[in-house]
Structure 1
Amino acid sequence: MSFEEFGLSPELMSGLADVRIKEPTPLKNEVIPPALQGKHLLVKHEAGDDGVFLIPALQKLTTNGEVSGTRVLILTPSVERVKELDETVWAMGYHAQISSAALSMKGIRTEQEQAMKDGAPVVIANPGRLIEILENHKLTLPHVDLIIIDEAHGMENYNLVSRVKDIMQKVEGDPQVLIFSGSNNKAAQQLSSDLLKNPQVIGFDDDAVSESKEKAKSEPEAKKEEPEADTNDQADEEFELDQEEVNRKLAEASVSVVLNPEEKEEAEEKKAEQQAPADEEEPEPVPEDLKQAYIYVPPRAKISTLLAHLEKTLTDKIVVFAASKRTTDRLFRIIRKKGWGVVSINKGLKQEYYDERFGKFTSGDMKILLVGGLSATEVELDEVKQVINYDVPNEVEEYKYRAELVGRGKAARIVS
C-alpha cells in the first residue's frame, strides 16, 4: 500500500515528505489501517520506526478540525525518547500546525505544568512526571481519545506500570489504546491485560493478550524493582539532581540564592540555556548611537502587540527571540494562521530540520524567524531588518549579543 491509500491529509503528507518518509514499511502497512479504524493494538516494535504510531495519531488530529485540549497522550519510560518523539511530532505535524508538549523527568517543571494547563494537542511524557503534575494540580484528561504506550517492555523498572494505571484513572471517557513493546515481558503483559479491549495483536502470538489476562488473575502485581547499576534510558526516569554541581555553577556565576529542592533542577536547566560557551568572547559595548525601541505592555497583551507590530513591517526580514520552544510553538501557530511566512528554530532541534527551516528564512521564502531558547551567538544572522526581543533576556550579555547584530550592520534595529 501507499500513504495515499491510507487517506492521509495533504498537510500530513507534506510533513512526511519533510522527514523523508516516502513509502510505508511492512509494519506500517499492518498497523496504520487498524489504528485509523480505532482498534486497540498490541504491536511488537523496535525503536526506529516511530511513524508506525505517530502517523495515525497525527492523522486523527488533522481530521478532527480545531482541537480543544490534549487529544493524544504518548507515554514512554525514557527521557531521551520524550525528546526524540517531541521533535518528530513537531516535524511531521509542522504543516498541520500540530504542536506537542514534552514532559520528561529532566525538563523544567514550571514550563511542563503550563503546557498541561494550556492543553497541548499532543503530550509526550514520562509516566512519573505526568502523574506528579496531574496530582499536584488536581488535573484530569477529559479530551484524550488516543493513548500510545511506547516501549512498554521498559516500564518494568521503577514501578512504572502502576504509574501508567494511575494516569489512566485521570483519563475521562473510553480512549483507543495502542501498546508498542519490544518483548511481551511482565510489564507489557500487565499493561495489555489492563488497558486493551478486544485488541488486534501484531508481531506476537495471537493469544498473547489472553495469556496476560490469565497471568494477571493468578499473580499479584509485581513489587517495585531495584534499578541495575548500569541502566541508561530507564535510569533517566528516576533522575536525581547533583546538588553539589548546581552549587558549584551558582558560585561560578557569583549568584547568591536560596532554592527549594524542587527548583534546583529548573535552575540548572535555565543556567545551561543562558550560559555562553566558555571560550566565547565578551560582547562589545552597545554602540551609543544604536537605535533601540522598548514597548511596555502587560503580559496578557504581548502577543497582540507583537502581531500589530509585525503587521506594519511584513516586508522586512524579522527575527523574534523567545525564551523557550513552548513560546515559539504558540507564536508559530498564531502567526501561521495569519498567512504570514514564518518558521521557527529552537534549542535541541535536529540539525537537518534546523538547516531546512533556517534556509527558508535566509533565502527570503519566509520573512519571520522565531528563535526559542537559543543565544544570538548560535544563530548566523545577516541582513535582518529587525531583531525583536519577545522575551527580554535575563542576562545582560545576551542582550548585548543581540544588540551587536545591529551594531555590526547585520540588522537595522532592535525592539523589546
Structure 2
Amino acid sequence: MQFSELGLSAQLLQAVAEQGYQSPTPIQAQAIPVILQGRDVLAGAQTGTGKTAGFTLPLLQLLQQQAIPQKPRPVRVLILTPTRELAMQVYESVKTYGKHLPFFAEAIFGGVSVLPQIQNLKRGTDIVIATPGRLLDLIQQKHLDLSRVEYLVLDEADRMLDMGFIRDIRKVIGFLPKKRQNLLFSATYAPEISQLAEQLLTNPVEISVAKRNAAAETVSQLVYGLKREYKRELLSYLIGNGNWQQVLIFVRTKHGADRLCKQLIQDGIRCAALHGDKSQGARVRALDAFKDGSITALVATDIAARGLDIDQLPHVVNYDLPQVAEDYVHRIGRTGRAGADGQAISLVDPEEAYLLAAIEKLLKREIPRVADTGYEKVSLDNVNSKPKPKPQQPRSAQRTRPGNHATSPGKQSTPARKSNYSRTNSR
C-alpha cells in the first residue's frame, strides 16, 4: 500500500514525500482511514511504529476539509501527552506534515516560560499539544478555551496513568464539548486503560499492530548477571570494546543518573544525564547533543522512556531494572524502531532478580543470559517475589564480618575483566 491510497490531500502527500516516505506503517495504514471516517479509536502499538503520523496526518486532513474559522482561531484539536519530550515530538510531527497547510499549532508544557505560550494562544491556534499540568494552569487562568475542541487524542495513555495524571485528564475532559472524536493510543493494555476507554470512547474501532505488552521483534535482548559493584566497569567496557557510538542508559534515580554520568566521563566516554531535575533548556541541549553525535551516552531516568524520537538508536542499556515490568518494554522500545535492528542489554544483580522474573513473566519468555560476563557468576534464577527486608538487629549485635566488605570498582577482590577497557575506544 502507498500513502496515495489512504485518501490524503495533495498537500499532505507532498509533505510525506518530502520526508522520504512512500509506504505507510501498519498502524498508519489501519488508523488513518478509520480516523478519516470520524470513528473513535483505541489503538495499541509499540513505540517506533509510526503512530504519531498515524493520527497527525488524518487530523490535519479533517481540519483541511473544514472552513477556516474567524480570528482568533479556536482550538479544534487537543493532543495530551505525558511528558514535555513527547509533546515536542508530536508538535514537530504536526509542523512537518502540516507545513503546506494554513494551520497553527502550539506546544504547551511546564519547565519553560509561560509567557510565549500565552501570547501564541491569544493569536489563536488550531492544534494544542500539551501536558496535563500546564494545560490546566492556562485553563484556570482563562488563557485557554477548549469549548470548541472537535478532536481529542490521548497519546501514551498508559504512561499518563502510570504518572498519576488520571485526575488531570478527567478535569481536562470536563472542559471539552461532549460531541467530539476521541483517539486513545497506548503501548500496553492495563485494566485501567480499558476502564478509561469505556468512559471516553464511543463504539471505538480497536487497532493493534503488535502483541500486547510485547517487545519489538527487531530488538535483541541480553542479560548480564553480575554484582552491582561491577556494573559501571562492564558498561564502560561494552561501550569502548564495541565502539558504540550511541547508547541510551536507563537508571532508577536522578542522583544515580548524575553519578553514573560522572563516572562514565571519568572513563573517557562523552556523556550527559537526562532527568526531571534538569531544566528544559538543559534537556533539549542534552538530546540535541545525543542526536548529533556530540556525546556517546545519554543516562536517563524513566522520564525518557517515552517520547524520545531518535532514529535508528542501536543500543539501550538497563543499568537498573525498572520497578514496573511494563516500563521495560517502553525502555527497550527506544531501539529497533521502524524496522531497524536494535540491542537491549540489562545489567542485573541478584537483588534485582525478582524484577527480572516479573519482566519475563510479562514477556512470556526468558531473556537470554550471557554465560561468561568476565566476572564471578551470580544466580538470577528461581526468584519470583521481592525479598523481604531482614529484621533490624539491636545495635549491640550489629557486627561486620571479616571479608564481608563491599568491593568497590577500584578495589576488586575478584579478577577484573579478561579484556581491559581502553578510554580511547569510545572516542
The TM-score with structure 2 as length reference comes to: 0.48
Structure number having the greater helix percentage: 1
The TM-score with structure 1 as length reference comes to: 0.49
